[in-house]
Structure 1
């Protein structure tokens, strides 16, 4: 396909295929098998609460590391002019860590946790440079469509491999495997291979437009000092700054629903098999829905498309808080699939419109940092509200605060003024 497409389209598809590649880690490892396998295989010798504490600590450490590293990685990418090289390095880290999980024997929870933490760092760190490269492959009037293409391929690719992995676990003998444990371990290795192979197009066919400000060791030595300058740059772009605050609030709600949905369903007594099926439904609905959202963003603008998604999420939260039957969980999975990829794609596209291209790396570093910080705060809110109210339903209802705050801040973003400010920096 790459040889028959025009150079512009070829680079856009090659860039988008990286989402297809790394979504396998997000779906099969992070959301799917690692949490369950960590409890039942690597931490099977301790109580459920202790294994939960171990897993929670690993997730917190991973999120904290990414939050601290994301803006630094953005600065390095801008200063070196080598976003693709940085993407390759971090992708390699993630691939090796995922493959390493295949080798971890039963009971070695600390080794598994360490590999997982660094795998998440590789995955999320690579996304900093990947997001910044959006402006290398798409003009400002194309970012909605191209961003949506990436998320759509991510849902499809991650969903396809996850489907195969789930079938392997459910029917191991049909795949020539001994048992479910061997199936899960092999799934981790398959993720590594999938991620590595489908990362090749972005490495071969995407060419950076930015220029290095330095190529010597000073780039790394001065990177930390430049973080302060990056924040000052963002503050000189008031619409981008306001949008980032809005994004921090509502993406917190989105990520919290992703991370807490299965736990919430189990707290209501729903079967684990049904929850796994619901996750697959969300993946496959998300593929065409993200593409549709890209077209909607072209028509009504990314800001209004995000508002549309926020309205849907408010309905989802109300529905979830009143949910009684398992079939409703499937319905929610479909509805979430309709907007989850869309709100992520439109957020990335809108932010790209509000920032100058030459500083995309460092500013997308802050963008990713805010997203990872949100992944820490939201689940804490749900958990503590549930504890204090003694109600899981009240816990999930608290997510409304995040969507309302995010929508209010989004209303204060003047997109045209933000684009003018970004153009002045590029001028």
Structure 2
């Protein structure tokens, strides 16, 4: 039987300013904690290392007479010379080692699309957001730390651990984002969201810098290259686990009107609530329009960032050192960029600031098309411009979205934002794939992103934000 929970407070943000600031400071630190996973694991280390492990496994299976070092170095030539060989087994399917990480990433994203709405509905239904944040954060951190054991031919272990870590990461972010409307008033929302995003860039960049020093100096430290990578990946899990303690001490659950007496019934209630959310979204057409606008332009943002390394190497012929140093610069400059855009939002309005950032993104991809080969300085300047608008575009969009969703359903709606984000990412990736396939040019692939920014701009400009906020039953800030 359902049991009554303590009566819900009429306004989650009706705390004293000091109490809200305490929770906000703790909330910021979770971005600092989990950003280590994205920067160290996804952006830099795991993909090439996991592919090399898969190649080692394929070498041992198909080319046992070739020395391991020689096989790894000449793997592509060996595979080309022996059709039908040079694959690894994944549930009975032959997969090229170079495609293994992409396959694992795709599987993890598909699982997120299935699981994140359930996570969001369950968080709102039970009100146990703090416990859920802890569960997903430490599950992800443990799986990430377990990458230390990724060596030899253990490509399956690496794939499973990454899928688990990425699924836990996405789930924790849904719960984390849903705290934003509860720990800040409408007037505070832009500042709090921007600071969280900025601190995340700073935390992720700091650990990545330390790990790159370890990687580049591994010989002088008496470490093999593989060991330095494994230590770096493990450090991301430890960083994530240690700093998650702070938000868990600062954040608090809010009471919900009713929750089910058992976990099983709570899950069942969550499914029903999710169904209602999808159905009731039609009652908020302006919220839906904003969501579509965000998905379009954010897909452009994610695709540009995700293909920046390939663009640098294939189109600009830049070295790996240049690419890595540019990644580091983006992390630290984006910290100040997110704060700057938060200030601009307070002066010119949040919507106008996001629209302005989309104009900048459009200019960036047009300029990228004309960059000269091996012109490192030009690439650094372009990366600097990206870092200024990168965090702010996403942080302010998160802030706006929090205003156009109904109170008490934050986690559900943020889960829709997350899964739609993941699902739409296929469109940008497909656009790049088609552009490269047809033109054999990463310059054309990057400039094709102009369409995403222009369409996103138009759709966002069409959203009547004050009406969208009132329709969702929320307070309209003085400046949006």
TM-score bucket (shorter structure): over 0.9
Q: Any residues of structure 2 matched to 1:95-110 within 5 Å, and which?
A: 95-110=141-156
Structure 2 portions without partners, runs of 5+: 1-16, 59-74, 77-94
> Deviations 1:303-351 (Å, cap 9, x if unpaired)?
1111111111101111111211222211111111001100010010000
Q: Any residues of structure 2 matched to 1:54-73 within 5 Å, and which?
A: 54-73=100-119
| Equivalent residue number for residue 129 of structure 2 | 83
| Equivalent residue number for residue 151 of structure 1 | 197
Q: Number of aligned pairs?
A: 421
- TM normalised by structure 2 equals 0.84
> Deviations 1:81-139 (Å, cap 9, x if unpaired)?
11111111111111011011011222211211111111111111110010001112111
> Deviations 1:160-202 (Å, cap 9, x if unpaired)?
000000010000145x341221111001111111111111111
Q: Any residues of structure 2 matched to 1:305-344 within 5 Å, and which?
A: 305-324=353-372, 325-344=375-394
Deviation for aligned residue 1:301: 2.0
**Aligned match of 2:342 in 288, 294, 299?**
294
- TM normalised by structure 1 equals 0.95
| Equivalent residue number for residue 10 of structure 1 | 22
| Equivalent residue number for residue 44 of structure 2 | 32
Deviation for aligned residue 1:228: 2.3
| Equivalent residue number for residue 312 of structure 2 | 265
**Aligned match of 1:236 in 270, 283, 292?**
283
| Equivalent residue number for residue 134 of structure 1 | 180
Rounded Cα–Cα distance in structure 1 between residues aligned with 2:174 and 2:400: 16
What SS does structure 1 have at the residue aligned with 2:153? coil
Pairing 1:250–2:297 present: yes
| Equivalent residue number for residue 253 of structure 2 | 208
> Deviations 1:205-244 (Å, cap 9, x if unpaired)?
1113351531333220233333221112222122211100
> Deviations 1:19-68 (Å, cap 9, x if unpaired)?
00000000000111111212234434555592221111111111111122
Structure 1's consecutive aligned runs of 4 or more residues displaced over 6 angstroms after TM superposition are none
Pairing 1:20–2:32 present: yes
Greater helix percent: which structure?
A: 1
Deviation for aligned residue 1:377: 2.1
Bigger-Rg structure (1/2): 2
Rounded Cα–Cα distance in structure 1 between residues aligned with 2:428 and 2:257: 37
Kindly indicate whether the alpha-carbon contact (under 8 Å) linking 2:24 and 2:183 is maintained by their aligned counterparts in 1.
yes
| Equivalent residue number for residue 278 of structure 1 | 326
| Equivalent residue number for residue 407 of structure 2 | 357
Check 1:296–1:210 CA distance in 2 against 1; reply closer, same or farther (3 A cut): farther
| Equivalent residue number for residue 446 of structure 2 | 396
Deviation for aligned residue 1:286: 0.4
Rounded Cα–Cα distance in structure 2 between residues aligned with 1:245 and 1:372: 13
Rounded Cα–Cα distance in structure 1 between residues aligned with 2:475 and 2:366: 43
Check 1:177–1:416 CA distance in 2 against 1; reply closer, same or farther (3 A cut): farther
**Aligned match of 2:426 in 376, 379, 399?**
376
Rounded Cα–Cα distance in structure 1 between residues aligned with 2:286 and 2:407: 16
Kindly indicate whether the alpha-carbon contact (under 8 Å) linking 2:51 and 2:100 is maintained by their aligned counterparts in 1.
no
| Equivalent residue number for residue 436 of structure 2 | 386
Rounded Cα–Cα distance in structure 2 between residues aligned with 1:311 and 1:177: 49
**Aligned match of 1:183 in 228, 232, 236?**
228
> Deviations 1:345-375 (Å, cap 9, x if unpaired)?
0010000111122111111110111111122
Q: Any residues of structure 2 matched to 1:109-120 within 5 Å, and which?
A: 109-120=155-166
Instruction: After superposing the two structures, state which structure 1 stretch, 379-388 or 18-27, moved more.
Output: 379-388
> Deviations 1:240-271 (Å, cap 9, x if unpaired)?
11100001101101111111110111112211
